[in-house]
Amino acid sequence: MMFFHFLKHCPCMFTFLIFTLFYTSTEAYDPLDPNGNITIKWDIISWTADGYVATVTMNNFQQYRHISSPGWSLGWTWAKKEVIWNMVGSQTTEQGDCSKFKGNIPHCCKKDPTVVDLLPGTPYNQQTANCCKGGVLSSWAQDPTNAVASFQVIVGRAGTTNKTVKLPQNFTLKAPGPGYTCGRAKTGTPTKFTTPDKRRVTQALMTWNVTCTYSQFLAQQTPTCCVALSSFYNDTIVPCPTCSCGCQGNSPQSGSCIDPSASHLASVVNGFPKNSITPLVQCTSHMCPIRVHWHIKLNYKEYWRVKVTVTNFNYRMNYSDWNLVVQHPNFDNLTQLFSFNSKPITPYGSINDTAMLWGVKFYNDLLMQAGPIGNVQSELLFRKDSNFNFDKGWAFPRRIYFNGDNCVMPPPDAYPWLPNAGSKQKVSFLALVMASLVALVLHAYS
Ligand SMILES: *[C@@H]1O[C@H](CO)[C@@H](O)[C@H](O)[C@H]1NC(C)=O
Ligand SMILES: *[C@@H]1O[C@H](CO)[C@@H](O)[C@H](O)[C@H]1NC(C)=O
Ligand SMILES: *[C@@H]1O[C@H](CO)[C@@H](O)[C@H](O)[C@H]1NC(C)=O
Ligand SMILES: *[C@@H]1O[C@H](CO)[C@@H](O)[C@H](O)[C@H]1NC(C)=O
Ligand SMILES: *[C@@H]1O[C@H](CO)[C@@H](O)[C@H](O)[C@H]1NC(C)=O
Ligand SMILES: *[C@@H]1O[C@H](CO)[C@@H](O)[C@H](O)[C@H]1NC(C)=O
Ligand SMILES: *[C@@H]1O[C@H](CO)[C@@H](O)[C@H](O)[C@H]1NC(C)=O
Ligand SMILES: *[C@@H]1O[C@H](CO)[C@@H](O)[C@H](O)[C@H]1NC(C)=O
């Protein structure tokens, strides 16, 4: 119902439909990061009188999706009547009912504990390697050394052999909102550990792992960013499609926004209920928390230059360690990048048309909340590819992601044209729609 209501009010019904076709797939498949996942591995290090000591390691194998503050939380359901005697490097959010215990009281007696990371500055004797980062996990491409978290858990009433231990069930990963789906825990070959001097190898007594994958659709029902395009050769700025992330004021979910000219802006912002997961956006025609503007700035003989601006319209979020993923065929010849970092992403090995861009530490790695300083920008210099061409929108990006979420692009027939470029490329738009449908069908059957 909500959906049709939304359509009726949307002036760009066609764009919205096309996007929805892609968007309603709950499958966690990302063509730019086909093997991305978060793997949680449990290694039993020793048996105790009534259970075991395990090291739990979480690896973020996703190329460009990170977990930012306030961080991850991991949950599961015990298979038997296990309790957690103690934890190092993390803690459960609730102790639960431990009234049956006399003397030693467990750290947690809940059947379905939820574990969160400790904060930076935790005393050394309560730390483990890779703990205590407030639940922040970098992405694999940006910083593999910080894409891992670990903690130790001492489990009681659990069984003390690899035959009697039952694997925990129904793992959940929140980051901090929804989006991840975790598979079943599976026992695997025990992990081998090499001592720091590399002279001895030890091995876990038992190992199991769980794989969690992300779906943008599960994370939020509407997109979170959109793309605007412009060029030096045409005065038209093609804005984000209307209603990219919601329409103003006609549905309970997407209706509320803030007018930036309100006289007491701060108090208006504070008047809305506080909930850091739901964005509180500035009123715009697209209603997106994030807009990425790709402007073709200059054309030299052998090079061309693009200016990229990311604008935050969300009053409730400073995006720390933000990143962009941009797909454009000329990325194999990116010659220079000003004030952002970049790294090529090659999901299919040979095709080098995608790059991840992110801010420079302590300079623009924090994208401030909506307002006069809520934007970051950079310029990219490309050496012209043999296919280089300002016609038919070639110089515009094929796809843009912000923090791992796909941004809504203007429809190709709205792209700024070259002067004298003839009629609109209706045919190519139709071809694109057809190709997308074919790809979708193929994907569904593969
Ligand atoms: C998880 O990601 C790693 C690294 O990309 C990959 O080797 C592994 O096969 C993935 N696991 C699953 C279950 O997809
Ligand atoms: C338990 O240990 C035995 C002996 O080391 C091994 O053969 C067996 O595969 C292990 N079972 C599991 C479930 O890990
Ligand atoms: C795990 O989840 C499934 C499906 O939601 C449910 O049927 C099952 O009872 C759960 N198991 C436990 C131990 O909670
Ligand atoms: C997880 O376990 C499966 C099954 O044992 C194994 O194939 C896979 O390599 C393991 N993944 C990691 C990241 O340890
Ligand atoms: C963003 O950071 C600024 C400066 O540190 C701070 O004043 C502001 O409250 C932060 N906003 C949010 C939504 O956390
Ligand atoms: C991809 O292109 C970048 C930029 O030109 C280059 O630095 C990188 O080595 C290329 N990678 C591959 C795998 O070709
Ligand atoms: C662009 O990059 C590709 C692959 O890195 C290279 O083969 C080609 O020669 C480059 N083109 C130009 C014009 O530099
Ligand atoms: C610029 O592009 C728009 C399409 O976005 C087109 O309507 C307009 O005529 C173009 N302007 C010129 C001067 O070609």
Q: Which numbered ligand comes closest to the C-alpha of 76? A: 3
Report yes or no: 12 and 241 within 8 Å, Cβ to Cβ: yes
- What does 311-356 look like in DSSP terms, one character per residue? EE-BTT--EET-EEEEE-GGGGGEEEEESEEEEEE-TTSS---EEE
* Structural domain containing residue 172: 38-217
My answer on whether 167 and 236 are in the same domain is no
Given 156, 189, 217, the domain boundary residue is 217
Q: Within a domain: residue 107? A: yes
My answer on whether 409 and 328 are in the same domain is yes
Rounded-to-integer distance, Cα 155 and Cα 108, Å? 10
Pocket test for ligand 6, best of 345, 346, 352, 380 (most atoms within 8 A of CB): 352
3-class state of residue 276 by DSSP = coil
My answer on whether 264 and 409 are in the same domain is yes
Mind listing the pLDDT tens digit of every residue in the chain (446 residues)?
344 344 334 444 444 444 444 444 445 678 889 889 999 999 999 999 999 999 999 999 999 999 998 899 999 999 999 999 999 999 999 999 999 999 999 999 999 999 999 999 999 888 999 999 999 999 999 999 999 999 999 999 999 999 999 999 999 999 988 999 999 999 999 999 999 999 999 999 999 999 999 998 888 878 999 999 999 988 889 999 999 998 887 544 445 788 888 777 777 787 776 666 778 899 999 999 999 999 999 999 899 999 999 999 999 889 988 999 999 999 988 999 999 999 998 877 778 899 999 999 999 999 999 989 999 999 999 999 888 888 888 899 999 999 999 999 999 888 887 776 544 444 344 444 444 444 444 444 43
Q: Within a domain: residue 17? A: no
My answer on whether 338 and 409 are in the same domain is yes
My answer on whether 194 and 277 are in the same domain is no
Q: Does 37 sit in the ligand 1 pocket, CB within 6 Å?
A: yes
Q: Within a domain: residue 300? A: yes
My answer on whether 249 and 358 are in the same domain is yes
Query: How confident is the model at residue 430, as a pLDDT?
Result: 43
Is the pTM value of this prediction over 0.85?
no
My answer on whether 421 and 283 are in the same domain is yes
Pocket test for ligand 8, best of 236, 237, 418 (most atoms within 8 A of CB): 236
Q: Within a domain: residue 364? A: yes
Any bridge partners for residue 188, and if so which? Answer: 207
Classify the C-alpha dihedral 211-445-6-292 as positive or negative. positive
Which residues are near ligand 3 (CB < 6 Å)?
77, 169-170
Query: How confident is the model at residue 255, as a pLDDT?
Result: 58
Query: How confident is the model at residue 422, as a pLDDT?
Result: 46
My answer on whether 314 and 265 are in the same domain is yes
Rounded-to-integer distance, Cα 185 and Cα 171, Å? 8
Which residues are near ligand 6 (CB < 6 Å)?
332-334, 344, 346, 352
Given 152, 186, 217, the domain boundary residue is 217
- Which class for 156: exposed (0-12), middle (13-18), buried (19 or more C-beta within 10 A)? buried
Q: Which numbered ligand comes closest to the C-alpha of 188? A: 4
Q: Within a domain: residue 18? A: no
Q: Within a domain: residue 193? A: yes
My answer on whether 295 and 428 are in the same domain is yes
* Domain count across the chain: 2
Q: What's 61's DSSP letter? A: -
CA 34 to ligand 1 center in whole angstroms: 9
Nearest CA to ligand 5 atom 1: 318
My answer on whether 365 and 277 are in the same domain is yes
Q: Does 61 sit in the ligand 1 pocket, CB within 6 Å?
A: yes
- What does 99-162 look like in DSSP terms, one character per residue? TT--SSPPSB--SS-EEEEPPTT--GGG--TT--STT-B--TTT-GGGSEEEEEEEEESS-SST
Q: Kindly report the CATH number assigned to the domain that includes residue 296.
A: 2.60.40.290
Given 169, 202, 217, the domain boundary residue is 217
My answer on whether 242 and 203 are in the same domain is no
Rounded-to-integer distance, Cα 60 and Cα 47, Å? 28
Q: Within a domain: residue 29? A: no
